[in-house]
Chains A and B, each alone.
Chain A
Amino acid sequence: EVKLLESGGGLVQPGGSMRLSCAASGFTFTDFYMYWIRQPAGKAPEWLGFIRNKANGYTTEYNPSVKGRFTISRDNTQNMLYLQMNTLRAEDTATYYCATGSYFDYWGQGVMVTVSS
């Protein structure tokens, strides 16, 4: 069974940094792209970016809305996905999801990030 479990969320001040983690299990981690998606309360989700699989060199792509501030990485020895978020703004407040699959087949339960002073 595919499982994705996000962690690392919470309250952070504007301008601060935070790293989210996503623990993956139940599938061959290196075979799949891994995605980050966020969703402000009451709004539509927003795709943030992805990191490709082993066959595609683990390269990354980002939404221009976060490019340069957010970095996606993966630890293939630990089946972990990460989202490093820097220079956080109030508008980054949202629930953050990791997802995987040929599409967004599988999602984690999400972790809340609140950017506020």
Chain B
Amino acid sequence: DVVLTQTPVSLSVTLGDQASISCRSSQSLEYSDGYTYLEWYLQKPGQSPQLLIYEVSNRFSGVPDRFIGSGSGTDFTLKISRVEPEDLGVYYCFQATHDPLTFGSGTKLEIK
């Protein structure tokens, strides 16, 4: 199975500052069709996960442009510029390139 390693495990950020989360895959996530099926989800406290980013860098409908996904191959990053209170929660990367589909272990974002 593809293992997605997220760092850091937790992150404490001052409101208005930038946060950066890394997701490293045990295998390249580029599929044979040329697309890279790496997504980012945010699970706010007490809620279901919600899609933020798909195919590495595409923001889902309604997601603020403060959320920026980047990367290729095995190394991916989610940057959140100008962190706001509603950004707190656990961020998960997820890959849909290889079967079985797998999630990262999560990064908890706390507000200082």
- Report the nearest B residue to A105, measured CB to CB: B51
A102 at the interface (CB under 8 A from B): yes
Asked whether B103 lies within 8 Å of A47 as measured between CB atoms, the reply is yes
Task: Give Cα A101–Cα B104 distance, bound, in whole angstroms.
Answer: 20
Over the window 42-80 of chain A, the binary record of Cβ atoms lying under 8 Å from chain B Cβ atoms (1 yes, 0 no) is 001111000000000000010111000000000000000
**Chain A residues with CB under 8 A of B103:** 44-47
**Chain B residues with CB under 8 A of A46:** 103
Asked whether A44 lies within 8 Å of B60 as measured between CB atoms, the reply is no
- Chain A residues within 8 Å of chain B by Cβ, number: 18
Asked whether A104 lies within 8 Å of B51 as measured between CB atoms, the reply is yes
Task: Give Cα A44–Cα B106 distance, bound, in whole angstroms.
Answer: 6
Asked whether A44 lies within 8 Å of B92 as measured between CB atoms, the reply is yes
B72 at the interface (CB under 8 A from A): no
**Chain B residues with CB under 8 A of A65:** 100
Task: Give Cα A104–Cα B49 distance, bound, in whole angstroms.
Answer: 9
Asked whether A47 lies within 8 Å of B54 as measured between CB atoms, the reply is no
Task: Give Cα A102–Cα B106 distance, bound, in whole angstroms.
Answer: 22
Interface residues of B in 95-112 (CB under 8 A from A): 96, 99-106
A positions within 8 Å CB-CB of B: 44-47, 61, 63-65, 97, 101-105, 107-110
Q: Which 8 A-B pairs have the closest CB atoms?
A: A107-B48, A47-B101, A63-B100, A44-B103, A103-B54, A45-B103, A44-B106, A44-B105
Q: A47-B100, A103-B54, A108-B48 are in contact. List 4 more A-B contacts (CB 8 A).
A: A45-B41, A47-B94, A63-B100, A107-B48
Q: What are 27 A-B contacts with C-beta separation under 8 Å?
A: A44-B103, A44-B104, A44-B105, A44-B106, A45-B49, A45-B103, A47-B100, A47-B101, A47-B102, A47-B103, A61-B99, A63-B101, A65-B100, A97-B48, A97-B49, A101-B51, A103-B39, A103-B51, A103-B60, A103-B96, A104-B39, A104-B51, A105-B60, A107-B48, A107-B49, A107-B50, A109-B48
B positions within 8 Å CB-CB of A: 39, 41, 48-51, 54, 60, 92, 94, 96, 99-106
